[in-house]
Amino acid sequence: MLHQTIQAIQPLNQAAMDQALARQAELTKPAGSLGRLESLSVQIAGMTGQINPSLTNRAVIVAAGDHGITAEGVSAFPSAVTPQMVLNFLNGGAAINVLARQAGARVIVLDAGVAAELPTHPNLINAKVALGTNNSAIGPAMTRDQAVQAVEAGIKVVTEECQNGLQLVGTGDMGIGNTTPSSAICAVMTQTDVADVTGRGTGIDYPRWQHKVEVINRAIAVNQPDANDPLDVLAKVGGFEIGAIAGIILGAAAHRVPVLIDGFISTAGALIAAGLAPLSRDYMIAAHRSVEPGHQIMQKHLDLQPIFHLDLRLGEGTGAALAMPVVASAVATLNQMATFSDANVSGKL
């Protein structure tokens, strides 16, 4: 499935982009005056192959998983919070539920590796690879086969959604301790010092931050992940939900569906996806830039410019949900504004 999905990803549709650019030049406004909305409309035309795609069928897919490395004391919260928050998502009470409702999006939870058995729910996809990863500070977080399984879990859920009409997707995450593997992935794949990409996560103090940096350095030293092999990096220092996010991105790109990348953990998944399929990067839209120091480094590596700077650091897909109306507005302005000839306006402003 992974190989077939990568092979299915195609370059952006240049003819649709040219058509969108030509229309932008005819709209009743000074050239470039709608700023990023203009470039987004052209990019989305290239993704979808249409200058006026419908983007009403929206979903945020929240991938969840636990991490063995929390045994090293890298998080301010216990792992028991992961399944508790998943239940909160399913009950509609989390920030992502509120913001998704505002954005007209469904919330789908993908259990890629929560360390607890969760109840059946119509909005929960059970694709559990294992009950959490192993402790990467002492050995690989998972096997290579498990890494592939995690990525393919993401591909499968988004493929089914696309086949049922999904038109715009956002990535989200839940997993106590997951800024630690995300920092490790960032450090390895961008070749940056661990201390420069590691933040305070859920709000740890300075001594625990120092400990977190030491633990990540130890995980990298113990496992020696190969930066040129994204699956090796994922297997050795990553997380099941990070792999699933990479799969969501790859699957969306294969179906020409725009994918809004949320925060630090989602962008770690984007690094894996882009490493596996460089063309997938063209289907990514960075929703925001979080306060995690590694997020900017990841986005620069991927050449992604965020829509928002709102000092978010929650995850869950909250930034992706917030950005959905902006993306829809970009398409609407391209297609619903009058041209100079339509409006009988003389000349171009």
Within 13 Å of residue 174, how many CA atoms lie on the same side as its CB? 31
Residue numbers annotated as active site? 316
281-284 contacts, C-beta under 8 A, 24 or more apart = 282/11, 282/12, 282/43, 282/46, 282/47, 282/253, 283/9, 283/47, 283/249, 283/252, 283/253, 283/256, 283/257, 283/258, 283/259, 284/249, 284/253, 284/259
> Nearest to residue 281, comparing CAs of 308, 252, 310, 307?
252
Instruction: Report which residue type is found at 294.
Output: G
Query: Nearest Cα to 269, choosing from 256, 281, 254, 255?
Result: 281
Question: Token pair for residue 213?
Answer: 């940096």
Cβ–Cβ under 8 Å, residues 135 and 72: yes
